[in-house]
Amino acid sequence: MLSTMVDTTVIEDAVRAACRAPSLHNSQPWSWVLDGRQLQLFLDRSRVMATDRSARQALISCGAALDHLRVAIAATGWQSHIKRFPDPGTADHLASVDFTPAPASDRDRRRAEAILTRHTDRLPFTGPPDWQSVNDSVVAAIGDTPVRLDALPEEARPQLVYATQLAESLRFYDIPYQDEIHWWAAPFEAAEGIPYSALVSAEEGERVGIDRTFPATHQRERRAEVPEDHAKILLLSTAGNARTDALAAGEALSAVLLECTISGLATCPVTHLTELDVTRNLIRAVVDNDDVPQILIRVGVAPGTDPEPAATPRRDLAKVLRVKH
């Protein structure tokens, strides 16, 4: 049985690391159960946004947590064996995970360390140097999955900026959407939501151009030495738009973010452009294929003069992991 193979504290530490994964507005829509034989991952419906009607964004978030778990446990000398959607009768049962011993490599440990240093950076970036070598390592990290990775050309940026402006205008009077944005950015909860320090001012947002608009902050202007964003824009897409596709996209998102972090690059997932059909179609026109755009990711360099950001809060382990004895 699992409890006689992997110490419970090892599983707890791995789940704690898994929960460092990015999620929509830091909503953390996952629930874990350790049942003595396996670790189970469930979608927590109570934490799915009302505007995320198909739960696609929540499933992407859970996919990122699942890959974070795989990375974290590998660094302790265990290999994950994941069965996705193991129970056809329980749609929100996303994965069952078994473990077998496997020696941890230096790369395993570097990837696990990246979980603790990765964070979403919404400020403008300078361009990543030697992108081709990073791109090769990112492609290798994604591996043989149903997720396609495209590095979008610089000439696509005006189209993406236009798509951002269109998305914001279409949702300007969308009251449920605006209520969610303001609720999750409100500075009152210590374990969830987006902290004030992670938000940007109106001027900082204008320099980025391709990002979701949150309530603007009034702190001092940061990164003034980067007058215009030159991030590389990556696109993760899938052939379909099923729940399996969303979960796989989240796993690939985790792989990309951790690989870029290891390479010393800053990252920012961008998902608001894949929430509306009209902006999805604009992205499709950029890559000229019929795949379903799932996630954009900004990748670049944050100036070394920036102070180390505080860790974004996460819910207590006892609220996301249940251990059956």
- Collect contacts of 162-170 with beta carbons under 8 A, ≥24 apart: 162/282, 163/273, 163/279, 163/282, 163/283, 164/209, 164/210, 164/211, 164/272, 164/273, 166/278, 166/279, 166/282, 167/272, 167/273, 167/275, 167/276, 167/279, 168/213, 170/276, 170/278
Per-residue tokens: 314: 């996460």
Q: Residue range 113-140: average pLDDT?
A: 94
Q: Residue range 35-60: average pLDDT?
A: 95
pLDDT of residue 3: 41
CB atoms within 10 A of CB 253: 27
Q: Residue range 283-289: average pLDDT?
A: 92
Residue 130 zone, left/alpha/beta (φ > 0; ψ -120 to 50; rest): left
Burial class (CB in 10 A: 0-12, 13-18, 19+), 71: buried
Average pLDDT, the chain: 93
Would the pLDDT of 189 be above 70? Answer: no
d(CA 325, CA 322): 10
d(CA 237, CA 252): 10
Q: Residue range 62-69: average pLDDT?
A: 98
Would the pLDDT of 188 be above 70? Answer: no
What's the pTM?
Answer: 0.95
Q: Residue range 123-130: average pLDDT?
A: 94
Render the burial of 123-142: b for 16+ CB within 10 Å, e for the rest: bbbbebeebeebbeebeebb
Would the pLDDT of 5 be above 80? Answer: no
d(CA 170, CA 184): 20
CA distances from 160 to 232, 280, 298 (A): 12, 10, 12
Query: 200-209, 217-226, 276-285, 289-298 — which is least confidently predicted?
Result: 217-226
Question: Tens digits of per-residue pLDDT, 26-43?
Answer: 999 999 999 977 999 999
| Complete domains list, the chain, with CATH | 2-117+314-323 (3.40.109.10), 131-300 (3.40.109.10)
Determine what percent of the chain is predicted with pLDDT higher than 70.
98
pLDDT of residue 2: 47
pLDDT of residue 1: 43
